[in-house]
Structure 1
């Protein structure tokens, strides 16, 4: 069944409260077993809770011509800014098979309790050709804390300038976004993307960070994860921005995986790191299915940057702080190969360079050497010493046609004849 909301008295001029007329049209649709609620071009001021399945909310498009306030196509505005403009599910009754299509949604950034689209305890939800802007709390929020929310699909959409989060997932998984743009606001509490035990699959889109303020992509909870393909994490700020993984006991599970393309200056911050535990080894993983021809490592020309360049792909270390880490499967690569920040194996063991001698040392039984002289030295072949007091470190050795030379303590060599047998 198809119902035009204007047949039920909705005006759509952007000023008159159309809530009751749209609710009447919705109830008629529900009583008929579901169908499409159609909104012609115009601005509709209302709040609606969708609490029945098999409903489509369809506008005339986001760019269709109209003179309404300079905003094209069909657009929605909340009549009551203490409620979401559209809410799918109440977190109690399971709701499924809902489609939203071809409209924009505009909020008021000064109404701090207002949300655009809220999905709460619903599944098999499809959102397509959709834009949401300027809400005082969250533009889009998916909640699964009371009843699971899952199998939710967003395609060809953008969410910008929320005072809270442009896209927020709380206790929900199997969320898929494609052909998208997410953008935060220049505010310390504004996030382009916020995951609290949320699992998101993203492809073919942009996550845009546009200020020097912190936390514009935020992952918390031990189940938070983003998988992606052709996702551009774009910073157009001249200062560092932060992706924050902030869950003290479970940050090892919070990571980005896939082909994440990083432009501009991004800084990782991990809430588990402190003076007592200065090792980032498990905390932040950037993983590619194939590292070859994707990543090379080098010294950044500009301090404090991680870069991705299409013609010469490089993932640079963050800065000269020895605590910063770039992760690959099996090991953590640190800018300073010291015993405080060694090269560590995931399953154990550590390797570092002795500060005094420059010698490479290792221990197999721990990832955290107790001192610069812990473990044992790598046996290293060097040039033939000129005398018994030539410079050398324990573990270094050499040979010529007559003798085998071994350094058994610093700057002290012994030799023995080489004979056939």
Structure 2
């Protein structure tokens, strides 16, 4: 069986490794548009940008590994179309036949529209190595950076830039930061952290356009106010990369739709990672995380080889900002109330999300114990009385 994987990131690497570990001895081809071998993305906007990690440490596998595993890693090659009837992929270098095709295409960062100046030089996004290498020379101490977007991408970018000595202002159009992904209590912890490090945060502001002609010079707000800047970082979310799947006639709804096994609407084509929408407890989910990329890719690899094993996500996430670590277990979607618990130290504590009597998620800032206990409780399906969360001296007793 000839297996082709489109996309060369974390999910593709995990899938290819799993296929070999599970005994697949046939051809495996991994096609990636970038010129470098698959690498870790989370450190790009943190350790790599700060110069604390080189490219060699970013790589998920060394060059020798791909050769030893007899995996045909094809870099700087862009997939153009899928012929489902002929079972071939056309790339900018030719055609590749497949018996099973896996789509691990990831996601693309959203930009401001070109009409708003979103394509001006000096406006940046952070998603891949090329983005970071383009932005790094502009990150000079004393320069003014405006970050658009108060989600995790924007906040992480603001933290790194501030650590590098830039003057940082973060703009969020919603009433508060982290409005779509976290409770107000978590947002309060993160806001206080950033303010303590000198980041200016303006919430509930609307952007009219990026100013400048040949290079970004600032942001004009909807009220006419102009905020000068030397560079702009846009962190307003990502869009799953589904173009080639849509063109091939696969079902796409906020990602490439799969069943519980990772199969798309074509039984010979599979999907995993950021681009995939899979069945959750209530509705289809699309998760943007390293954990999901690894776990779903490995499950799909098993199922390509005939396992018929349903994928059951165990969501976990993290975000490093300044010297703080936010760890998240579960999914807070659908919560109706939260309970908070204090922790020792500055900018520390946890937020526990409940839907009725059910514990569904935990946000823990600088509180690894709360994260670990919360994660174990959620995965075990246990929901302590909310009143016990702040009152129990040792959280381990809740297990």
TM-score band, normalised by the shorter chain?
Answer: under 0.3
| Higher RCO structure (Cα 8 Å, ≥6 apart) | 2
- So what's the TM-score if we normalise by structure 2? 0.25
Higher helix share: 2
Q: Highest Rg: 1 or 2?
A: 1
